[in-house]
Structures are given as structure tokens and as C-alpha cells.
Amino acid sequence: MEQQVITDMLNLHLERNNLSKDGSRSWFVGGSLLGGRGLFATTDIAVGELVFVDAPLVVGPRTRDKHLPLCIVCYKTGCPLFPCDKGCSLPICSSACELSVEHDAECSLLQAWKPTCGSSWSINLLRALVPIRALLLDEQQRDLLYTLQWHSGPQHGSEIDLLKSSIKIQMNQIEEQFMRRVCAVMDTNSFETAAIVGESVTSLRGLYPMGALQNHCCTPNTRHYYDSQQRLYVTAAIPIKKNEEITMTYTDLFWDTTLRRRHLAATKHFFCTCSRCTDPLENGSLLGALRCARKECSGILVAVEPLDTSTVWECRECGLRLKNRQIISIRSALGSIVEEMIYKSPKQMLRFMKSELSVLVPATNYVAVDMKLRIISCLGRTEKFLWEDLTKDELSIKEKYCRDLLRLIETLKCGECKMKGLISYELYSTLMELNKRQFNEETNIEKSESQVNEESKNLLETAILILQNDLTAPKDLLSLVSGMTKK
Ligand SMILES: C[S@@+](CC[C@H](N)C(=O)[O-])C[C@H]1O[C@@H](n2cnc3c(N)ncnc32)[C@H](O)[C@@H]1O
């Protein structure tokens, strides 16, 4: 019964946003073995097929400092911002934004509360803008919001305390309670969405009612992207069978089990028990594996009972056992070393990878994987490390790391996920650069060219299939796609 009610509400929401598909939808809401309700497939869904499109019920700035400040109308960042002249104390970049219709209602609402920040704009009001915007939802939209899951806890709703401390006229209790509920619903369900502003992308948070019904799996069967109006597109990353649950990931595919489960418990209030989390070898990826503490042993340590947060760890070769608190210390020391490295130049990161990290952890470990990803994204794409600046060795390293990570995606069985599209494109670009240089040197041209071309063609095809509509994809890939479609 409850599932029918929420299905009807979702259909209404999609209709209001012109997103209903004449009754031929490929999802239904059902009870999930994972937790609460979930979305399920009405039919077999092939890889790459669109599962649903959703529009945000409410969208706005994220709350962390690193994502702020921004103009609350056009979402421009890194430009001069001034407080809205009409007295709402939100940051604005131009008169056009200040006078825009979209800003009217929230501006009036805030003016009535009399912000106390004087002649500057207020970071506290900016942080609370999403729950403030939710006050403008109509009854039907509020009903839908109230059906979405939320968790209580002191970490949810601090935006409202900050908002209250920044206004003279206090809001009424019903408004406050509703906004606190919005904060909790956002923390459980919101997506990191994006606005394209000129050449750059601003990260925002959005509440997508359909997306909010998707449960988490550490090897999800979908990937998603957004269009310029922040609509969410969910497509199949691996084949989904009729009646199978449609899942997504709330964490990072390349994190190890300990990290993923800790993050999910802290932010989404559950301990994941999926097959990847249950397997000490994580589908054979060995992302969490550590080197054996015995000097003379070349084995690796893995968790004996990965679902038990106080599990002992055991060396697969010599049987040495370490207590969980010893593992916590090793991981925390590793964390500090890596934290320092991520602010260094790609050259320093590379040196660290080769000389230090390889001694500390096995090559499969999540820390090594994270460093590889950082190095890949710097080489060829950052100042002083553009393609033409790279040495042949650096290009070869980038090629190797891309291949390692594509193999990891295969091992994890993550299918045609976004990460596969991104790394395929990086490998394609690296091979093109290597090939260009080889061509200039005029050695072994014929053989290597034909080999590289076949592989490059496949990599580019994969990247395009996965990323062609994704506004956050590398700009050079999107220009390539738009060039192809114009021809
Ligand atoms: C975005 S909601 C997903 C839909 C939710 N199950 C519902 O009934 O509305 C996220 C919440 O669902 C639950 N959940 C999602 N994935 C889960 C999983 N793999 N295992 C256990 N609980 C999960 C958790 O309570 C989580 O905070």
C-alpha cells in the first residue's frame, strides 16, 4: 500500500517536470532486502540503457567551505560577490542575478527575518539556502519530501542553528521543524549535482525523489549524470534483470571495505553487508590488503571477518594475526603520510610512489590506487605537466597506471561505470601522445600505429558511450563528441 502511494507521488512529480514516459517505465518501488524501500526493474535492462530521468525537488549550495562562496542565482564562483541590495544578505554576482525572478521568493522570505550581518553577505544564510528554498515547496511537493527516509542525530540540521543566529525575527516553530526535517532528508538522500557556469562546473546538492529511492551497493548496477538544468539521468552500468534491485553507490568505488563501511555508517547510518563487503579479498581486488608485519614474510594481511568492525587480520602466507587496533594504527599512519603527499607536485608524488609507498603497502592497496588516480589526473592536465611537457617516462607511467585501474574496475565487476569512461579517455589520450612522438621519431611506425589505433579506437568509443552526455566529462572529450555530431 505504502509503495503504491509513493509510486503515485513519484509519477506526479515526474509529470510536473514533463518526465513521464507514457506509462512505459522500467522501475517500480518495492520492499528491499538491503533496507526499507528500493527501486526495482520491471524488465531486463541492457548496459547503457536509460533507467529513469529525475528532476530536483530542491537544489542549492553545498554546506562545506570548500564549495563556497558562489552566486546563489547563476552559481558562478571565483568572482566578486556582493550582498543582494534588496536586503536578503545572500551573495550575488550581478544586478541581473539580483533582479531575477528565480531569486524573488527566497529573497522576500529572508528579508522578513531581518538578517543581522549588516553590509556584508552571510555565509550562514548561504549554508542554509537549501532548507530555506524548501519552504517554498507546495503541499504536494512537501508530502513527497515527507515520504523520503531521514535519520536523526546531532550532526543533522546544524545549518538551522547557524541560520537562527543570523536573523533578528525568529521563524515560527512549524517552519523550523520543517527545515530541520529537510536537513535530515538532504543528508540521507541528496546527490552531488552540478551547474555549468561558462567554462567551469559548480558543485551543488540536489534532492531527487526517484534517486532517493535507490539503495546503495558497493558494486552498483547503474551510473548517473546531469544535464544543464540539473536533471538526473540514471543508466545501467551492468545488465539488470527483471525484478532485480536498481542500485547506486553512496561512496567511492576505489575505497576499501573498511573505508566504505565507516563512511556509510557515519553519513547514512547503516553497515553495508553486500557481497563485496563480505569478501575479505573484495572480489579479488585486495584493496584493503596490507603488507605482513614479519620482515621475512612477503604475504599480505586481510581482515578475517570483514563485517565485524573489530575483526582480527591475518597474513595469508604465514598466518600471523594482528589485532584490529594495530591495523587501525597502521592505517592512520598511512593516512597521515598520504595526506601530506596529495599537496605535492606530480613529480614528488611519483617519487613517493616508487621509493616509499611501494615498501609500505602492496600495489593493490587503496592508498596506492588513490595515488595512481591523482597522478593520472595531474599528468597531461595541469600547469607545467601538460601533454607537451611530459617526458616519455611520465607518459609510460600514466599509461601503466591507467591500465592498472581499468583492470581493477574489471576485477571489481563495476561494468561500464563513470570511472571506466574517464580512465579509458585518459589512456586513449596518453596513447595518442605516445604515438605522435613515435611518429615524429619515425621508428616502427607501421606496426605500432596500427596496433595503437585499434586499441585507441576502442578506448575512445568506450569513453564516448559512457561520458557523451555528462557535462562534467573532460572538455576536450565533449568537444570531440560535439565535433563528431556536427559532421
Ligand atoms: C537514499 S535512501 C534509500 C531508500 C531507502 N531504503 C528508503 O526506504 O527510502 C538511503 C537509506 O536507505 C538505507 N539503505 C540504503 N542502502 C542500504 C544498504 N545497502 N544496506 C542497508 N541500508 C541501506 C539506509 O538507511 C540509508 O540511509
DSSP string, 75-90: ---SS--EE-TTTT--
Task: Determine the Cα–Cα distance for residues 125 and 89; give it in Å rounded to an integer.
Answer: 7
Kindly state if the Cβ of 189 falls inside 6 Å of ligand 1: yes
Residue type, 206: G
Task: Determine the Cα–Cα distance for residues 319 and 313; give it in Å rounded to an integer.
Answer: 9
Residue 260 contacts residue 219 (beta carbons within 8 Å): no
Residue 232 contacts residue 54 (beta carbons within 8 Å): yes
Domains of the chain by range and CATH? 3-55+209-245 (2.170.270.10), 58-207 (no CATH), 379-486 (no CATH)
Task: Determine the Cα–Cα distance for residues 395 and 386; give it in Å rounded to an integer.
Answer: 11
C-alpha 291 to ligand 1 mean position (Å): 34
C-alpha 103 to ligand 1 mean position (Å): 33
| Probe residue for ligand 1, chosen from 156, 246, 268, 274 as the CB with the greatest number of ligand atoms within 8 Å | 268
Based on C-alpha coordinates, what's the Rg of the chain?
25
Take atom 22 of ligand 1 and give the residue whose Cα is closest.
35
Q: Is the peptide bond before 69 cis (omega within 30 degrees of 0)?
A: yes
| Probe residue for ligand 1, chosen from 150, 210, 216 as the CB with the greatest number of ligand atoms within 8 Å | 216
Strand 300-303 and strand 313-315: the pairing is antiparallel
C-alpha 207 to ligand 1 mean position (Å): 15
The helix/strand/coil state of 298 is coil
Dihedral sign from CA coordinates of 63, 224, 275, 186: positive
**CA end-to-end distance (rounded Å), the chain:** 52
Task: Quickly count: other Cβ atoms within 10 Å of residue 125's Cβ.
Answer: 25
| Probe residue for ligand 1, chosen from 33, 40, 205, 215 as the CB with the greatest number of ligand atoms within 8 Å | 215
Closest CA to 257 of 223, 285, 224, 215: 285
Question: What is the strand order of the sheet 321-322 is part of?
Answer: 290-291, 300-303, 313-315, 321-322
Cβ burial of 302 (10 Å; 0-12, 13-18, 19+) is: buried
DSSP string, 338-378: HHHHTTS-HHHHHHHIIIIIHHHS-TTSHHHHHHHHHHHHH
Q: Which atom of ligand 1 is nearest to the CA of 189?
A: 1
Q: Which atom of ligand 1 is nearest to the CA of 268?
A: 27
Q: Which atom of ligand 1 is nearest to the CA of 149?
A: 9
Joined grid coordinates for residue 169: 525575527
Joined grid coordinates for residue 398: 600514466
Kindly state if the Cβ of 36 falls inside 6 Å of ligand 1: yes
ipTM score assigned to the predicted complex: 1.00
Kindly state if the Cβ of 29 falls inside 6 Å of ligand 1: no
Task: Determine the Cα–Cα distance for residues 370 and 335; give it in Å rounded to an integer.
Answer: 11
C-alpha 283 to ligand 1 mean position (Å): 23
Q: From residue 380, how far is each of 40, 398, 463 by CA, in Å?
A: 41, 9, 17
Residue type, 189: N
* Residue indicated by cell numbers 529525475: 54
C-alpha 449 to ligand 1 mean position (Å): 49
Dihedral sign from CA coordinates of 218, 224, 225, 227: negative
Task: Quickly count: other Cβ atoms within 10 Å of residue 381's Cβ.
Answer: 15
Kindly state if the Cβ of 269 falls inside 6 Å of ligand 1: yes
The helix/strand/coil state of 69 is coil
Residue 303 contacts residue 280 (beta carbons within 8 Å): yes
| Probe residue for ligand 1, chosen from 3, 40, 149 as the CB with the greatest number of ligand atoms within 8 Å | 149
Q: Which atom of ligand 1 is nearest to the CA of 151?
A: 27
* Residue indicated by cell numbers 591507467: 402
CA 389 to chain centre: 30
pLDDT tens-place values along the chain, 487 residues long: 589 999 999 999 999 999 987 667 899 999 999 999 999 999 999 999 999 999 999 999 999 888 889 999 999 999 999 999 999 999 999 999 999 999 999 999 999 999 998 889 999 999 999 999 999 999 999 999 999 999 988 888 999 999 999 999 989 999 999 999 999 999 999 999 999 998 889 999 999 999 999 999 999 999 999 999 999 999 999 999 999 999 999 999 999 999 999 999 999 999 999 999 999 999 999 999 999 999 999 999 999 999 999 999 999 999 999 999 999 999 999 999 888 888 899 999 999 998 989 889 999 999 999 999 999 999 999 999 999 999 999 999 999 999 999 999 999 999 999 999 999 999 999 999 998 888 777 655 555 555 668 999 999 999 999 999 999 999 999 999 988 877 6
Task: Determine the Cα–Cα distance for residues 229 and 248; give it in Å rounded to an integer.
Answer: 21
Closest CA to 294 of 329, 319, 312, 313: 319
Kindly state if the Cβ of 268 falls inside 6 Å of ligand 1: yes
User: Which residues are 115's β-sheet partners?
Assistant: 167
Kindly state if the Cβ of 82 falls inside 6 Å of ligand 1: no
Q: Which atom of ligand 1 is nearest to the CA of 269?
A: 27
Task: Determine the Cα–Cα distance for residues 19 and 37; give it in Å rounded to an integer.
Answer: 22
C-alpha 214 to ligand 1 mean position (Å): 7
Q: Which long-range contacts (CB under 8 A, 24 or more apart) does 290-299 make?
A: 290/327, 290/330, 290/331, 290/361, 290/362, 290/365, 291/360, 291/361, 291/362, 292/317, 292/318, 292/320, 293/320, 293/322, 293/326, 294/318, 294/320
C-alpha 486 to ligand 1 mean position (Å): 43
Closest CA to 395 of 357, 355, 438, 459: 438
Take atom 20 of ligand 1 and give the residue whose Cα is closest.
34
Residue type, 195: A
Task: Quickly count: other Cβ atoms within 10 Å of residue 229's Cβ.
Answer: 10
Cβ burial of 338 (10 Å; 0-12, 13-18, 19+) is: buried
Kindly state if the Cβ of 420 falls inside 6 Å of ligand 1: no
User: Which residues are 386's β-sheet partners?
Assistant: 380, 381
Helices (H), 84-240: 95-98, 101-113, 123-127, 129-134, 139-147, 158-164, 173-189
The answer, as to whether pTM is greater than 0.90, is yes
Question: What is the strand order of the sheet 191-197 is part of?
Answer: 58-61, 200-207, 191-197
Residue 268 contacts residue 216 (beta carbons within 8 Å): yes
